[in-house]
Every structure is written in C-alpha cells, then in structure tokens.
Structure 1
C-alpha cells in the first residue's frame, strides 16, 4: 500500500507542478513520507540491505533523497509564491 501511494503521489505531484498549483506540496509530502516509511520498514524489519545488496540499497536511498529534495523544492516554490 505504501508503494502504491508513493508511486501515485509521485506521478501526480510531477503533473501538478506543471500547472503550478499549491496542492503539489502536500502530495509531494505524502509521497516522501510513504517512501520513508517503506524504506524504514524494509531496512529495519526486513533486512533489505542483506537481501538485495549494496547497489540496490544505495539506489533506494538515493531515490529517497531525491523524493525529499523534490518536496523541499515544491515548498520553496510555494514560499516564493510561484505556485498558485
């Protein structure tokens, strides 16, 4: 369920950013939180690092960082009043 929320909100937030709507900030936040929870569950409880190896785990961490960066970028655009 977290994966589905992350994928849908990630795609939706990218599309909404094209229309410059303020709603994109909340949707990007939901996507970032769901990805963080998914990564936390995977790494802490399911030993994802051991199961999939270093490269895949670092790739997932990179995607997590990019997702949070996108959220902070959208928040910055809202503060600058670029988003309507």
Structure 2
C-alpha cells in the first residue's frame, strides 16, 4: 500500500479501540458478569438473551471480533490482507445482525439504542473496508 496519511492511522486506531472494547463486551456478556449488566442497565431479559445464546451465532460474533481487531493492525503494517480481513469482519457482523434481528428478537430485547450502536459499528467496519480497498486500488493505478 502507498504512504498512509495521518487520518488513515487515526481511523485504524479508532477501529482497534472499538474492537478491543467489543472483545471486552463479548467476555463480560458471555461470562454473565452481573456488575457489567447492571452498569449498562440491562435487565433479566438481556441476561436470558445471552444465557441461551446459540453457538452458531457466537461463531459469527467471534469471526467479527477477531477480523475486526486484525484489520486495522494489518492496515498499519501495510499488508494487503487488511482488505479481505476487513471484508470478513463486515460480512460476519452483517450476517450476525440480520440473524439476531430476525431470529432472536434483538431489537425488542436490547432496545433501539443498542441496535443503532451495532449498526453504527457495522457502518464503521464497512467504511474501513472501503478505505483499505481504496488504498490497495490506488497502489495498482
């Protein structure tokens, strides 16, 4: 990839922070940390939602988190694999959201605020994929 501008590094750092927080959230939710639930004002419905969380949904969640953390690191290291990794993170998050909204009643359980936040994460991940892709395409030109 060509020389990265300062805002590319800033975007990558934001993505790292966002996905580190996502990994933290993953462990807090799936270990059923009551203090964490209370700090976010989650009630029994949310606790039940994550207590009975299907393994096949968890696979998409894990893929999203791992690829989401790897993508900005690969970008900073100027690896072209950042593009496919960012696409993988985007697709995993998209599939997870579609499935959980359709099959797990995500909106009713977690609320509009969390739903909008999750869609925002998806959009940022998509934008990062497009940015990585543009950087690689510029190099070919």
Does residue 76 of structure 2 align to residue 15 of structure 1? no
TM-score (norm 2): 0.56
Where relative contact order (Cα < 8 A, 6+ residues apart) is larger, the structure is 1
Q: If the length of structure 1 is used for normalisation, what is the TM-score?
A: 0.93
Encode CA deviations 1:40-76: one digit per residue, 9 max, x unaligned. Answer: 0011111111111110111011111111111111111
Query: Structure 2, unaligned stretches of length 5 or more?
Result: 1-58
Match of 2:126 among 58, 68, 80: 68
| Structure 1 equivalent of residue 105 of structure 2 | 47
Q: How many residues align?
A: 82
- Give the superposed CA RMSD: 1.1
Take 1:53 and 1:3, find their aligned partners in 2: how far apart are those partners?
Answer: 19
CA distance in structure 2 between the aligned counterparts of 1:38 and 1:9, rounded to whole angstroms: 14
Point out where structure 1 has 5 or more consecutive residues left out of the alignment.
none
- Mapped to 1, the partners of 2:125 and 2:100 lie a distance apart of 17
